[in-house]
Amino acid sequence: MNDPGFPFIALATAFALLIFALCLSGVRRFNLRRALGTVDASICTAGKSWQMGVCRYQDNDLEWFKLLSLSVRPKYTFRRSSLELVGRRKPTEAELVKVQPDSVIVELHYEGQEVLLAMKFDAYTGLSSWLEAGPVIGVGTWR
């Protein structure tokens, strides 16, 4: 333990682990963005702070993945039939520093809770189209 090379080996190992985690994060991000139906979107739920991430449309779910994470599972999953689009608005002055530039704030209700998504306008039009194209609740036919 008194070897002068031990601190160097410990620092080199920590640095190598950091680089490996960053590479894994990059591969995860690449795989998320490669899939169809993914858009960059920040989220704010139940009055919490904004978190950057990626939304992915599935057949019956909207999944949201945290941007800086190694998890392959979504942090939030919203059932399509329970999502209600309330509207959109421009970010407030306080939100401008927390969301992407040129974003719109999409207001959604999900099972009685307010969910805010910050995304580009073209991503918003895709989200609204995806919600409108979904099945009518309780009826087995499409709209």
At 76 the pLDDT is: 93
Token pair in block for residue 94: 């306080």
Report pTM.
Answer: 0.74
Alpha helices for the chain (secondary structure H):
6-34, 93-96, 121-132
At 134 the pLDDT is: 73
Sequence-ordered strand ranges (E) for 48-112: 53-57, 61-66, 76-79, 83-89, 103-110
Res. 9: pLDDT tops 90: no
For the residues 10-23, what does the mean pLDDT come to? 88
**What is the per-residue burial (b if ≥16 Cβ within 10 Å, else e) of 29-54?**
eeebeeeeebbbbbbbbeeeebbebb
pLDDT digits (tens, 9 = 90+) for 25-81: 777 677 666 666 788 899 998 878 899 888 988 888 999 988 877 777 889 999 998
